[in-house]
Structure 1
Amino acid sequence: MKPWAGVGEAYAASYASLCAGTGDALLSALGAPGGRRLLDIGSGTGELADRFRRARWDVTGCEPEPTMRAVSERQHPRIRVVAGALPELPFTSAAFEAVTANFVLNHVPDPRASAREIARIAVSGAPLAASIWVRSPSWFWMDIVARAGIVASSGERLPADKDFARTSEGFAAMLADGGWQGARVEELSWTWRAVPSVLWASAEGGVASAGMLYRGLGREDRAQFRGAFDEVCAEHAVEGLVLLEHTAAVAVGRAL
C-alpha cells in the first residue's frame, strides 16, 4: 500500500487539525496577500488552503491522494485542487507569487529536488514557506507498540545522498542545497489536546506510520494494540484529553 493511500476521511477526522497548527506562522511568513496567487503543495483535506483563501490569497491546492482531494472538494469547494506530487509538479515556471508546503518535505523521495521544484514554480523573489516535524507524537505510538508486544519495522529511510537531518539546521541546509535564497528556520512548539477517539480514528484509519502498522496487524495483535492504546491514553489524559507536545521547524525563503 502506498503511504497515505485511502486515508482522506480518517486524516480529516484526526491529524488535519494538528497539522493546521502552523497556520499563523505560515500566514505571517507570506506577507500581505493582495489577491496574489498562492500554491499550497500537499494541501491534504484543505484546512490550510481554505485559511489562506479566507486571508484573501488566490489559492490553488495540489494533492496527490484522491481521497484527500475528495474531502477537500466537499468541505472546501471554493478551493481549486490539482492532482500532483513533488518532485515534479504540473505547473509552468514562475506560475505563483507564493508557495507553501506544510509537512510535505519530510515525506518526499528527493527533498532537494523537491525544494528546487518549489522554487521553480514561484516568481523571482516570491516567498517560499515549508515545515517539517522535529518532534512528533511518535513516542506515544511507540509506547503503545511496546506494551502490546508488537515488533514494528524501523520504517524505510531515504538513501544517504537524498536524506537530510530532521533538525532545524539540517532543514535549512537542505533547502539551501535546493536553491532557496536566504532560508531561515524557526521552531514552533504547541500542545495538541487530542480526544482519544480522534487519536484512535487516525490509527484505525491508517494515518501515518502508526496507522499503517495497525492496518497490517492480525486480529489478535489489533486487540493487543487497542488495549495498550487505552492504557497509554488513560495515563496521559487530563480532563479527558491526551496532551501531546509537538515541535515543527518552519522555514521561510525566497525564489531566485
Structure 2
Amino acid sequence: MREWAGKGEAYAASYAALCAGTHDALVARLGPARERRLLDVGSGTGALAAHLSAAGWNVTGCEPEETMRVVAGRQHPTLALVEGALPALPFADAEFDAVTANFVLNHVDDPRVAAREMARVAAPDAVLATTIWIVSPSWFWLSVCERAGLAPAAGNRLPPERDFERTASGFGRMLSEGGWHRIKVAELTWSWRATIDQLWASAEGGVASAGAFYQSLIVADRVQFRRAFDQLCAEHVVDEAVALEHTAAVAVGRPG
C-alpha cells in the first residue's frame, strides 16, 4: 500500500467522507455488538473503527501508514490503534469476534492471501465483513483528463493469477478462494455530495491513482487539469456540492 505513504491528511480532507458511505451497511451486517472484540484492518484515519466502537464493539484499529495513524489519534484519541498490515497481521489466531476491512482488499498485492489472513485472526464463529469499489471515484477523474486532453495513467493492475472480477459475484468468488465460507455479497450505491475543496484536496494531495497522476504532471499540464476540473465541477455543482454516485460491493462471511 505504498501509494498511501504520507497521504493521511489529504485523505482525511477528501476521500474519508466518501468511504464512510459503507459504514452503516457494515454495522448492520455484523449483528449485535455486545462489546465483543472487533479488528478493523486498514483502519486509515479511524472513522469506521470509531463508528463501530459507538455501535458497541470493543474495537482495535490496525493501520500501516503512520500519517493515517496520526490523524486517527487526533480525531479519535480513545481508539486503540496498532501498526500492522495485511497479509501478516500482528495478532494471534482466532483473536477477534469480528474482522472488517473497508476498501482494503482492492489495494493489497494478493487479495486471496489477505482474505485468508483476515479469517486466521477471527474466532470460528466470527463475522468477516469487507468492501471493494465496483464504481469508484476514478470515473470522475477520467472525465477531467479527457476534457484536459491528458492521457490518464493506465493504473496498476494485479497479475492475472492474483486479480479478480470487480463485481459482486467476482468478489464473492475471490473471498471463497481465500477461505471464507457462507459468503453473502450485495451492491450498495450512494451519492457522495462532495465539496469542490474536498475533491481538489484528493488530487492536490496525491490521494489514490488520480492524485498520483496529478502529481506526476508538469506545471503546464497541471494548469490544464485544474481548468478542466473547475469546468466539470461548475457544470455539476448544486448547493455548493457535486453529487457523485458510487457503488461498492459489501461482503460478509465466516472463517469456517
The TM tier, using the shorter chain, reads: over 0.9
Equivalent residue, structure 2, for 1:107: 107
Q: CA deviation at 1:140?
A: 1.1
Find the residue that maps to 1:123 and give its secondary structure.
strand
1:14-66 CA-partner distances (Å, limit 9, x unpaired): 11011011111111111111110000001000111001111111100011111
Distance 1:32 1:42 in 2: 22
Distance 2:139 2:26 in 1: 26
Structure 2's unaligned 5+ residue stretches are none
* 1:63 aligned onto 2:77: no
Equivalent residue, structure 2, for 1:191: 191
Equivalent residue, structure 2, for 1:210: 210
TM-score by length of 1: 0.98
Structure 1 residue ranges, 4+ long, deviating more than 2 angstroms after superposition: none
Q: CA deviation at 1:240?
A: 2.1
Distance 2:160 2:176 in 1: 17
Question: Structure 2: which amino acid aligns with 1:153?
Answer: A
Equivalent residue, structure 1, for 2:84: 84
Distance 1:223 1:103 in 2: 31
* 1:116 aligned onto 2:116: yes
Distance 1:2 1:104 in 2: 13
Distance 2:13 2:137 in 1: 17
Equivalent residue, structure 2, for 1:131: 131
Distance 1:18 1:153 in 2: 22
Q: CA deviation at 1:137?
A: 2.4
Q: CA deviation at 1:239?
A: 2.3
Distance 1:83 1:217 in 2: 32
Distance 1:255 1:137 in 2: 31
Distance 1:144 1:237 in 2: 15
Find the residue that maps to 1:126 and give its secondary structure.
strand
Find the residue that maps to 1:88 and give its secondary structure.
coil
Q: CA deviation at 1:152?
A: 2.2
* 1:9 aligned onto 2:25: no
Question: Structure 2: which amino acid aligns with 1:214?
Answer: Y
Question: Structure 2: which amino acid aligns with 1:110?
Answer: D
Distance 2:51 2:239 in 1: 30
1:58-104 CA-partner distances (Å, limit 9, x unpaired): 10001111100100011101111111111111111111110000000
Distance 1:14 1:165 in 2: 27
Equivalent residue, structure 1, for 2:146: 146
Question: Structure 2: which amino acid aligns with 1:84?
Answer: G
Distance 1:47 1:132 in 2: 17
Equivalent residue, structure 1, for 2:44: 44
1:102-134 CA-partner distances (Å, limit 9, x unpaired): 000011000000010000000002000000010
Structure 1's unaligned 5+ residue stretches are none
Q: CA deviation at 1:148?
A: 1.5
Equivalent residue, structure 2, for 1:240: 240
Distance 1:154 1:4 in 2: 18
Distance 1:175 1:139 in 2: 26
1:150-161 matches, within 5 Å, as: 150-161=150-161
TM-score by length of 2: 0.98
Equivalent residue, structure 2, for 1:96: 96
